[in-house]
Structure formats: C-alpha cells, structure tokens
Structure 1
Amino acid sequence: MAKIHIERTHQLEQHQLRGLVDDVAESLTREYALRCHWVGSELVFRRRGAHGRLLPQADRLILTLELGLLLGPLSCGIEQAIHQRLDELLSD
C-alpha cells in the first residue's frame, strides 16, 4: 500500500479555510467519486482503493492518503497532482 503525506502552510482565516476544505470535498466527490465526511475537525475521504484524511489547522493543511494495490503504482503522479491543486487553491 502506497502512502502519501503532505503538509502545506497557509495564511487563511478560519472561515476561508473551512470554505476551501468544503470546496475540496465537493471537488473530490464530483471528480473522483470519493465519499467525504467530517469526523471532528478532519475531512475523511474514501473510495475503493484509496482512503485518507485532510486536517485543516490554523497555519497548515495536513493530508494523508493511502492507495491500494491498483493505485499504488500511480502514487507519484497522484502526489504531483495534489501538490499542483494545493498550489492553485492556496494562491487565490
């Protein structure tokens, strides 16, 4: 099982951060058929062959993602796509 761990700093206000994470959840659901829900302060997401968490904190986002056997070989490309998307979201 391949694991991806990404931490990114940000300077967003709490309401902006929550909106961004909600937008990410909608995007993940629409584009990748991931099921997303909140568990406490973490956004948990899952689909067949992948599951993870996005933890929004006051100064950083922490994302962990575990990929199953079929998606594992694609982990480098998936990680690059995540970094690119976070760059886009956090630069606005």
Structure 2
Amino acid sequence: MSTIDIKHPHSRPDDEARAAVERVAEKIQEKFQIDYAWEGDHLHFQRSGVDGNILLEPGQIHVTAKLGFLLAMMRGPIEEEIRKYLAREFS
C-alpha cells in the first residue's frame, strides 16, 4: 500500500480555508470520482482503492491518503494533481 502525505501552509481565516478545501475536494471528486464528507475539521474522502483525509489545521492543510495496489502505480500524478489544486486555492 502506498501513501500520500502533503502539508500545505495557509494564512486564511477558518471559514475561508474551509471553503477552499471544499473547492479542492470538488476538483478531486471530478478528476478521481471520489465521495467525500466533512467530519468536524477534516474532510474524509474515499473510493475503491483510496481512503484519505484533508485536515484543516491552523496555518496548514494536511492531506493524507492510502492508495490501494492499482492506484499506487499512479501515486505521482495523483499527488501532483492534489498539490496543484492546493497551490491554486491557497497561494
């Protein structure tokens, strides 16, 4: 099993950061057909072969995901896509 672990800084107020994380989740949902739901300050996402979270922390966004065997081979492009969405929303 392969993992993704991304920490991305931000300086937005909580409500703005949460809205930006929501937009990131929507983009990831479109691209990778995931389901997601908020649980407090973290957003849980999943689909066959991937299970992950986006944690909204003070000053940073923390993305973690466990990739199953088939998606592990695409770890690089998946991680790059997530980083691109984070940079677009939080830079």
TM-score using structure 1 length: 0.89
* Cα separation, 2, equivalents of 1:45 and 1:76: 18
Q: CA distance change for structure 1 residues 45 and 86 in 2, over 3 Å: closer, same or farther?
A: same
Q: CA distance change for structure 1 residues 25 and 83 in 2, over 3 Å: closer, same or farther?
A: closer
* Cα separation, 1, equivalents of 2:85 and 2:25: 13
Shift of 1:78: 1.5
Percent identity over the alignment? 30
* Cα separation, 2, equivalents of 1:23 and 1:85: 9
* Aligned match of 1:9: 9
Counterpart mapping for 1:15-34 below 5 A: 15-34=15-34
| Letter paired with 1:29 | Q
TM-score using structure 2 length: 0.90
Contact kept? 2:41, 2:55, Cα under 8 Å: yes
| Letter paired with 2:53 | R
Shift of 1:29: 2.6
More RCO (CA 8 Å, sep 6+): 2
Structure 2: gaps of 5 or more residues: none
CA RMSD of aligned residues (A): 1.3
Shift of 1:40: 2.1
* Aligned match of 2:50: 50
Shift of 1:37: 0.6
* Aligned match of 2:74: 74
Query: Does the residue aligned with 2:55 lie in a helix, a strand or coil?
Result: strand
